[in-house]
Amino acid sequence: MTDRLAIALAQINPTVGDIRGNLDRIAEARRRAARQDADLVVFSELVVCGYPPEDLILKPFFVERVLAAVHGFARSETSDGGPAVLLGMPWLSDGRLYNAAVLVDCGEIAAVRFKHDLPNYAVFDEKRLFAAGDMPGPISFRDVRLGVMVCEDMWTPDVSETLAESGAELLVVPNGSPFETGKGDQRLSLAVGRVIETGLPLVYVNQVGGQDELVFDGGSFALNANRNLATHLRSFEEDLAVTEWRRGVGGGWVCADGPMAAPPQDLEAVYRAMVLGLRDYVNKNRFPGVILGLSGGIDSALTAVVAVDALGADRVHTVMMPSPYTARASLEDAIEVAQLLGCKYDSIPIEPAMHAFQTMLAPAMAGQDPDVTEENIQSRARGMTLMALSNKFGGMVLSTGNKSEMSVGYATLYGDMCGGYSVLKDVYKTTVFRLATWRNGTVPAGARGPAGTVIPDRVLAKPPSAELKPNQTDQDTLPPYDELDDILECLVERELGLPDIVARGHDTDLVSRVWRLLDRAEYKRRQAPPGVKISRRNFGRDRRYPVTNAFSSLT
């Protein structure tokens, strides 16, 4: 009977659709694990095709290529007597497509287990893509019975209890669990619950990396049957650790203490998710860099800092586009931000474009007083300028709006909403200020930007303003952001009704007004670029409201 087992936890950063590249990363991780005498290397959910593959999975030839590539990998990489590999991939059986965990060992596919509990909420829609597998039984590996359950199978007790009842000795959980605030604690709590219920230890391997709006934060771990955490891998980085397991008194398996990386908390976690999400979006889509409008305000300043931390200063091009309403202080602050970051800076005034549009539209608008139309022309002139630079030089435009603005529609279609990606899309304005202050005092792991102050105090202190007319501030038409953001969180993340929000101390008329603004701006959000998911409910895959919608919760 085997008394020792070395299991490598391999959290790698796959790219959706890059079957060959993902298998190369798997092979490299296996070689690293082999040098540390691992018996088994566990990878994340659907790691071969990348997760989530979405409707790529509906192409039969895509699934066929995955299967052929894995058979080739098995022959070429695992016939050497080295460690076996447990990897995730789509699997077609009897005309039904499954989300599978596959054991590859000694040159062949040795075992296959299917995901049973398919999530169909929030960002997940697996029931439209996969068939649910039957309750799995354990996999016999080197005389050890491994209870393999894929991601969501761990979130409820049914699968783990079935595995325990059928003789599993160790639970192994490949995951594709995306980041959101507080998610790490939730995962660990659920894992502890499964350990308590079954009396079995547990290995949890999560994906790391950015995929469109989602960021996977890694943080893989091993948990003993006594609920003690034996190993915790780094967050927001690729990592590999070989865990040493021995059969203890009574036959149960015990993991020796291994690497223990503390997971980042609160603002650090949010910031690192933003950096990783942007870095992978730009690099995986093969953009040479990014371009953004630098206004001298807090949102564009923080976006620029995140971009430099993600890509390096040489791949970030900032552009100030002043109008006659741009304050001198804003010009100075934009220049200072660019100098602190060491990135390229240009100033391109938009006044000639404003005059051109005024002249062009004068006959059609004769007799009409200036209003928001002229303000939006300024924003669209800026958007056109950035897109022209993008077309000419290849950098992707970053939009710089935050979740507070996107919620109430204080963003201009084809203007400041222009761009391929939005770093702050799921970050409320109050959190923008907190993140900026935090980054001035901290250089997060993996950041490519400078230490020290990167956002001047004056940028943090000035009243937020779009500067589209004289002496304009956001609070001319919006309540203070701490009040607005609390109302929005109640409406968006928590779906509270009017009485519950008013009970928190908010004015009834104000809540009603914010609610109407939120509903009315849905059509704009449908046309917004993707952005990093941070909260429990982002604007995008999480929240799917009809644009044409006559329902009112206010009456």
Q: Which of 45, 126, 336, 489 is catalytic?
A: 45
Interatomic CA distance for residues 463 and 452, integer angstroms: 23
Q: Are 243 and 6 spatial neighbours (Cβ–Cβ below 8 Å)? A: yes
The SS3 of residue 355 is: helix
Continuous segment of H or E residues that includes residue 383 = helix 372-393
Interatomic CA distance for residues 551 and 497, integer angstroms: 14
Terminal-residue alpha carbon distance, the chain? 70
Residue 297: which of 463, 431, 451, 468 has the closest Cα?
463
Q: Which of 151, 343, 418, 490 is catalytic?
A: 151
E strands present in 106-213: 108-114, 139-141, 144-148, 170-175, 202-206, 208-211
- Specify the DSSP class assigned to residue 253: E
Q: Which of 77, 115, 467, 489 is catalytic?
A: 115
Cα-trace Rg, the chain? 26
Interatomic CA distance for residues 16 and 211, integer angstroms: 8
Residue holding tokens 């919760």?
553
Interatomic CA distance for residues 154 and 192, integer angstroms: 10
**107 exposure class (CB count in 10 Å sphere: 0-12, 13-18, 19+):** middle
CB atoms within 10 A of CB 459: 23
Q: DSSP secondary structure string, 271-302?
A: HHHHHHHHHHHHHHTT-S-EEEE--SSHHHHH
**109 exposure class (CB count in 10 Å sphere: 0-12, 13-18, 19+):** middle
- Decide if 213 is catalytic: no
Q: Are 62 and 106 spatial neighbours (Cβ–Cβ below 8 Å)? A: no
Strand partners, 93: 96
Interatomic CA distance for residues 555 and 545, integer angstroms: 19
> The tokens of 368 are what?
């009409």
Continuous segment of H or E residues that includes residue 407 = helix 403-408
Q: Are 323 and 375 spatial neighbours (Cβ–Cβ below 8 Å)? A: no
CB atoms within 10 A of CB 163: 29
Q: CA 538, 544, 548 angle in degrees (round to 5)?
A: 130
- Decide if 151 is catalytic: yes
CA dihedral of residues 264, 266, 270, 271 (deg, nearest 10): -70
CA dihedral of residues 79, 84, 89, 92 (deg, nearest 10): 60
User: Which residues participate in catalysis according to the annotation?
Assistant: 45, 115, 151
